[in-house]
Amino acid sequence: MSINKDKLAKRQEIKGHNPDFVRPESWRYVRLQTNWRKPKGIDHHQRKQKSRGRPGLVKVGYGGPKEARGLHPSGFTDNLVYNLNDLEKLDPKKDGVRFGHSVGTRKRKIIVAKAVEGKFKIFNARVNASGS
């Protein structure tokens, strides 16, 4: 049951036009991962865009469509929930639920029960039935 398919498709289409932003010099050294880090040196070749053929920098103009921001890949909006009051403010037809990191197992079980009863999409349930 995927919702907002058109918004997700638009986001994917725009993402296809963007360059692959890779960490500078990650192609040169095995010890550097490819995940993006901004070049900050005063003479850095990529930051200054000195020579052609250098990968592009992350800039605000490469952002996705406004209506698709904050959407989970399932199409639901991603909402942090810490207690039952947060859950009551949401709509199960369009809002997904992600439990906060600081929510303990006891409270998490109660919120999961209410969320399942309300037919919410849960992104990170991780509750074991044994209680330990």
Lowest pLDDT segment from 8-12, 53-57, 110-114: 53-57
Q: For the chain, give the mean pLDDT.
A: 89
* pTM higher than the cut 0.75: no
Is 56 found in the same domain as 16? yes
State whether residue 55 is helix, strand or coil.
coil
Is 90 found in the same domain as 44? no
Residue 36 lies in a domain: yes
Residue 35 lies in a domain: yes
Residue 47 confidence (pLDDT): 87
Is 82 found in the same domain as 57? no
Quick check: 130 pLDDT over 80? no
Residue 130 lies in a domain: no
Q: What percent of the chain has pLDDT over 90?
A: 70
Residue 51 lies in a domain: yes
Q: What percent of the chain has pLDDT over 70?
A: 95
Is 98 found in the same domain as 56? no
d(CA 64, CA 76): 16
Residue 127 confidence (pLDDT): 58
Range of 109's domain?
Answer: 77-122
CB 2 within 8 A of CB 13: no
Quick check: 99 pLDDT over 90? yes
Residue 128 lies in a domain: no
d(CA 24, CA 88): 45
Residue 53 confidence (pLDDT): 80
Is 82 found in the same domain as 59? no
**Average of pLDDT values for 79-93?**
94
Residue 35 confidence (pLDDT): 95
pLDDT in tens, 41-74: 999 888 888 777 888 889 999 999 999 988 999 9
Is 9 found in the same domain as 59? yes
Is 11 found in the same domain as 54? yes
Residue 37 lies in a domain: yes
Residue 129 lies in a domain: no
Report the number of distinct structural domains present in the chain: 2
CA neighbours within 13 Å on the CB side: how many for 105?
7
Alpha carbon distances (Å) from 130 to 18, 98, 100, 106, 115? 47, 22, 21, 12, 19
Q: φ, ψ for residue 68 (rounded to 5)?
A: -100, -5
Residue 70 lies in a domain: no
Residue 128 confidence (pLDDT): 59
Among candidate residues 13, 39, 63, the one where a domain is terminated: 63
